[in-house]
Structure 1
Amino acid sequence: MATSKLLGYLESRKNLAGCGAGLLGLVLTFTGVAGAYWPLVVAGLYGAGALVAPPERVEVPGFGGEGAALDLLRADFARLRTYVTSVTPDLPPVPARRLTELTGLLDALLSHGGWERDPESLHILGRAVREDVPEAVDTYLGARWWTRLTPGGDPPEKHVVRQLSLILRDVRTLAAGVRDEKGLRQESLTRYLEDRG
């Protein structure tokens, strides 16, 4: 495990950019510019190169397709959950909480049966799992790095929180529908049992 992490870092963009900047430090040393402080110059340039390098991108998972079958959607959600778990540590606290709440609610809804009889709701779930959530997270991860290099404008955190809130609104509406349906069913059973007695 530690060996694979070390090898992963050696191949990372941050290490490669740091090594390139460190080589510039060695050139400055051999030309006499760095002087007696050459180790600090080389280390400082390596660190600066590693800091400005773009982060490694976690690829958005490929999904099974447009099929509306609940089993396909559940499999796609499993891939989405793996992706979300890998990128959540890179998110600020507020979007991370929104994303955790959203995936928890999607998990609960997809565990619920009967979506085959409601194609419109199944479409909303499929769109959230296959398009909306991965696009919002991936767009944020890309914009975050560029915002560091060119400050100004709206922070990407503001947009991703708003996007996740809008997706969460749609998913909460579906959850409220399930809750109401279950409540009506429970009331009907109570009335039936009372009338029977």
Structure 2
Amino acid sequence: MATSRAALRYLESRKNLTGSACGLLGLVLTFTEVAGPYWPVVVCGLYGAGALIAPPERPALPEFPDPSAQLEAVRADFERLGGYLADVELPTAAAERLTALTDLLGALLAPGWVAEVLAADPEGVHAVSRTVRQDIPEAVDAFVRTRWWHRMAPGQEAPESPLERQLTLLHEEAERLAAGLREIEARRQESHTRYLEDRGGGLSA
């Protein structure tokens, strides 16, 4: 079966098609009596030469999801994260910081032109994906586990303090990402202004 597929691939390959075209030329030379009695050698030689000069087969590139599809997957995971967070009881301060963070992430992921700008930034998509899929779940789960130990053996640092710090850092990171996306739009606006100015200058000349 594998041999049959390999043979079929070769029959459809550039090498065979080019070699066959050159071999056909050899047959034409034979019928016009140019090749003479050595026509089998001419035909085989032309076929071999054609197969050698044919461009090599190029394997098809692997298909990866485009940035928009990646962002759609992150959006779905963000919704699942919201369901998880709804079942976790957090202290007021930590809950407020988490809400601020998830509100900002939700605004970045919401379908629309903002998400389109984000989708065009692979590093930004990666950063949001990491925050949604790794950083927030890890921070909250670590708090839940540490809180149990703190209740069993009080006297250590309150577990909400590290959680609040982690959520603050994540929010600052998300704000930097949002600022970067805003800068992209600002540069786009400036570029369009310069284009219009240059176009106007050309018309006035």
Q: Which runs of structure 1 show a deviation greater than 3 angstroms over 4 or more consecutive aligned residues?
A: 114-117, 190-197
Are the counterparts in 1 of residues 108 and 118 from structure 2 also a CA contact under 8 Å? no
Partner Cα distance (1:134, 1:188) in 2: 40
Q: What TM-score, normalized by structure 1, do the two folds share?
A: 0.59
- The alpha carbon displacement at 1:182 in A equals 1.4
- What is the one-letter code of the residue matched to 1:155? A
**Sequence identity of aligned pairs in percent?**
50
Moved more, 94-103 or 178-187: 178-187
Cα drift, residue 194 of structure 1: 4.3
Distance (Å, rounded) in 2 between the aligned partners of 1:86 and 1:145: 16
Partner of 1:152: 155
How far apart, in 1, do the equivalents of 2:86 and 2:186 lie? Answer: 33
Matching of residue 173 in structure 1 with residue 176 in structure 2: yes
Report the counterpart of residue 104 of structure 1 in structure 2: 103
Aligned ranges 1:78-93 → 2 under 5 Å: 78-87=79-88, 90-93=89-92
SS at match of 2:116: coil
Structure 2 unaligned blocks of 5 or more = 1-66, 201-205
Larger Cα-atom Rg: 2
Instruction: Calculate the TM-score normalised by the size of structure 2.
Output: 0.57
How far is the alpha carbon of 1:192 from its aligned partner?
A: 3.3
SS at match of 1:179: helix
Deviations 1:104-146 (Å, cap 9, x if unpaired)? 1111122311444322221111110001001111111221122
Matched, 1:133 2:136: yes
After superposition, residues 7-18 of structure 1 pair within 5 angstroms as none
Shift of 1:75: 0.4
CA RMSD, 1 decimal: 2.0
CA–CA distance in 1 between the matches of 2:161 and 2:190? 42
Query: What is the DSSP-based 3-state SS (H/G/I as helix, E as strand, rest coil) of the residue aligned with 1:133?
Result: helix
